[in-house]
């Protein structure tokens, strides 16, 4: 499985803040698959359509990961809104993820 850009444009009101994220994974390795599933659930519950997510497979694009300062996968990088944040691991700690994304749990 090669996840490339997965673009989910926000369809809500223009005034709504769109969270832009980048998830770095290693093909369909167990923690990567789990991280995708966890993030899917969080986005669905808390962000509805107001997020933009790019999934990068480091086995395919390792240089892209290095350029973004990513050393281990899975890792989730929040690009905007500020401040930027990074979460390492399979995203099973939901409260940490929400906090990093700036979402009130």
Partner 1 sequence: MKPDLRPPNPNPSGTNAGRRFEKVILRLVKGGPERLAIEAGEIDAIVDPESGSAILLPEAQRALIERKSRFRNLVGLASDWYWEQDENYRFVSCAGATVESSGFGDESIIGKALWELAIDNMSEADWQTHRRQLEWRTTFRDLEVRRVDRAGEVRYLSVSGEPVFDDSDQFKGYNGITRDITERRQAEAVLQEPNRFSRATLDALAPHVGVLDAAGVVLLVNKAWRVYAATHAGMGTGVIEGANYLAACDDAQGGERVDGIAIAAGIRQVIAGERMLFRYDHACDSPVGRRWFMLSATGVAGDTAARAVVSREDVTERKRGELLLALEHTVARSLADADDTTVALKAVIRAVCEAQDWDCGRYFRLHPAAGELRFEESWGVAGVAVGQFLEKSRGMVFRPGAGLAGRVFQSGQPLWVLDGTQDAGVSPTALAPETGADGAFVFPVMADDRTIGVLAFSSRTVREPDDRMLQAVRSIGSQLGRFLQRQQAADALRRSEARFRRLTELSSDWYWEQDSDFRFTRFVGCGVLGAGEVFGKTRWELPNIVLGEAEWAEHKSQLAAQWSFCDFEFAAVHPDGQLGYYCISGEPVYDEAGTFTGYCGTGLDITRRKRAEIALRESEARLRALAGLSSD
Residues that bind partner 1 (CB under 8 A): 25-32, 58-63, 65-66, 70-74, 88-90, 92
CB of 63: closest distance to partner 1 in angstroms?
5
CB of 56: closest distance to partner 1 in angstroms?
11
CA dist., res. 21 & res. 4, Å (int): 13
The structure tokens listed for 27 are: 């093909």
CA dist., res. 68 & res. 23, Å (int): 11
Nearer to partner 1 (CB atom), residue 30 or residue 102:
30
CB of 7: closest distance to partner 1 in angstroms?
16
């Amino acid at each position: 499985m090669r996840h490339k850009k997965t673009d989910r444009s926000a369809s809500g009101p223009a005034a709504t803040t769109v969270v832009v994220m980048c998830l770095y994974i290693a093909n369909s390795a167990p923690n990567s698959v789990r991280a995708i599933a966890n993030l899917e659930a969080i986005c669905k519950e808390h962000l509805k359509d107001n997020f933009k997510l790019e999934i990068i497979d480091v086995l395919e694009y390792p240089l892209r990961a290095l350029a973004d300062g990513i050393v281990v996968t899975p890792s989730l990088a929040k690009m905007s809104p500020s401040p930027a944040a990074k979460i390492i691991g399979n995203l099973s700690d939901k409260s940490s993820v929400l906090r990093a994304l700036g979402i009130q749990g």
